Amino acid sequence: MSDAVPLPVHLDQVVEGLAQNPALPSDLVRRLLAHRTGPGGVAGRRDLSDDVIAEIIAAGDHSLTHALALNRSLPHAFRTVLAEHPDPAVRRAVAIAADDAPRELFELLLDDADPQVRAYLAQSDHLPADLRVRLAADPERTVRATLAG
């Protein structure tokens, strides 16, 4: 008999670990969505199918949606949907992860009402030069300062 004391199992940590495991079969990814606590690691997976992405967006869970918006593997069609999300934190995450975005997405983000979205966009090395010029004339001083930095 061992004197080892069993450690408590924290379900959230177990689920996050599974969500981030690239060896997890894709058919089990959807099952992780039922456990909607924690930082939303399942939404950051590179292998999400379109139906799982749509399910995450439809669920309306802030942490999952925010993590999805930060997912650099997200298809551009979904990134565009999230660029129009009512939560500015989600739109900011889209701006942060918009590395290889099409021009239309950059233009959409450039017109965002939230100056922080535009400030994050100003930090992108992938923003086309003519759109960078538009940001240089942004009415918000912090956006212009971010661009200059």
pLDDT, tens only, 74-104: 999 999 999 999 999 999 999 999 988 999 9
| Total domains present in the chain | 1
Domain range holding 27? 10-74
Q: Is residue 105 part of a domain?
A: no
Q: Is residue 52 part of a domain?
A: yes
CA dihedral 10, 26, 78, 41 (to 10 degrees): 20
> Tokens standing for 97?
């992860």
Q: Is residue 28 part of a domain?
A: yes
Q: Is residue 4 part of a domain?
A: no
Residue 44 banded pLDDT, cuts 50, 70, 90: confident
Q: Is residue 149 part of a domain?
A: no
Q: Is residue 142 part of a domain?
A: no
Q: Which residues have a Cβ under 8 Å from the Cβ of 126 and sit 6 or more positions away? A: 98, 99, 100, 101, 106
Per the CB < 8 A criterion, the answer to whether 121 and 136 are in contact is no
Per the CB < 8 A criterion, the answer to whether 93 and 69 are in contact is yes
pLDDT, tens only, 62-80: 988 999 999 999 999 999 9
